[in-house]
Amino acid sequence: MKAAIYCRTMEDNQKEDVQLFFDELAKQKIEPVIFHLFFEQIKNVVRLPDTSTVFSVSEDITDEVEFIVSLGGDGTLLDTVTLVRDKNIVILGINFGRLGFLASIGREEVKTAVKAIAKRTFVVDKRTLIHLDADLPLFGDVPYALNEFSLHKRDTAAMIKIHTYLNGEFLNTYWADGLIMATPTGSTGYSLSCGGPIIFPDSGSFVITPVAPHNLNMRSIIVPDDHIISFEVESRSENVICSLDSRREIVAKNVSLAVRKESFTINLLRLSENSFLQTLHNKLTWGLDRRN
């Protein structure tokens, strides 16, 4: 069995956890295929299995790789999604970061997680992606996002007007700093911080959330994920910011943009005893009344 390993960087206080992770891989006879930049960083400070190999780009991940492990926070896992693409590989996120909504498996669960891979005692959640269509090439070979698509004004520009349509029918014009189009997975991210609702991952919906809207009656709206949502932008600036998760591009304000559900899904691994409700309890401290 082979598992690809992706990590942006290893902090000094993570060395013991990383060593434990690779020791457990060797114990379970799982061959690691390590992202080349991470390999160069750790090869002299971490004992790696003799079967270790490296990869550099998505095309290097062959059909022999059954899993890809993200060591880091949610941002690291979002990078991993761009490597997996439509390969149908299961993603395991081990949280070396802070909040960890996506990379929800803690450092203390490393052994349990690796054993779950080896014995296949896990649950796979299929997560919807959002796909961006535009009248010019944007975001190369990965015009999709796990969390959200967003439009935003430039740093010093005045607020922008975003005319929004559902399947060609006018929905609303948002006077705002920006607009977020989030998947259920992304509903606990940027959209939530802007007042959007939390949506269960299997709800079959998208949520549209304005960023600092001019009109206070502008609220988030949940729409079916089989709709095509298109946008026209008005701005005093010549350009606006277009983002997919943590990736962004500066585009002309007259660009034509539309988003829809991607044709494939991403497989996120969770330990069988974990659930979305438990993640909400753990990460948002729901159900914990500190007054008691």
Instruction: Decide the pairing of beta strands 31-35 and 53-55.
Output: parallel
Which pLDDT score, from 0 to 100, does residue 290 have?
64
pLDDT in tens, the chain (292 residues): 899 999 998 888 889 999 999 999 999 999 999 999 999 999 999 999 999 999 999 999 999 999 999 999 889 999 999 999 999 999 999 988 676 778 878 888 899 999 999 998 888 999 999 999 998 889 999 999 999 999 999 877 789 999 999 999 999 999 999 999 999 999 999 999 999 999 999 999 999 999 999 988 889 999 999 999 999 999 998 999 999 998 999 999 999 999 999 999 999 998 876 778 877 777 777 777 666 5
Pairing of the two strands 144-145 and 130-134: antiparallel
What's the confidence (pLDDT) of residue 45? 92
101 and 157 both lie in a single domain: no
Residue 138 CA neighbour count, 13 Å, CB half: 25
Per the domain annotation, does 206 fall within a domain?
A: yes
Whichever domain contains 112, its CATH number is: 3.40.50.10330
Residue 43 lies in a domain: yes
Which pair of structure tokens corresponds to residue 248? 């962004």
Same domain assignment for residues 53 and 139: no
In the chain, the number of structural domains is 2
Residue 151 counted as domain residue: yes
In a domain, 291, yes or no: no
Annotated active-site residue in 63, 74, 141, 202:
74
What per-residue confidence (pLDDT) applies to 177? 95
Whether 226 is catalytic is no
- Residue 105: inside a domain: yes
Q: What was the pLDDT predicted at 54?
A: 96
Q: Could you tell me if residue 74 is inside a domain?
A: yes
Q: Are residues 115 and 200 in the same domain?
A: no
**In terms of domains, do 113 and 165 share one?**
no
Tokens 């502008």 belong to: 218
- For residue 115, is it within any domain? yes
Sign for the CA dihedral angle at 164, 170, 174, 180 comes to negative
**Is residue 269 assigned to a domain?**
yes
- Structure tokens belonging to residue 64: 């022999």
User: Distance between the two ends of the chain, CA-based, in angstroms?
Assistant: 48
What is the reported pTM? 0.90
In the prediction, which pLDDT does 155 show? Answer: 78
180 and 87 within one domain:
no
Per the structure, the complete domain to which residue 138 belongs is given by: 130-261
Same domain? 68 vs 107: yes
SS3 (DSSP) at 187: helix
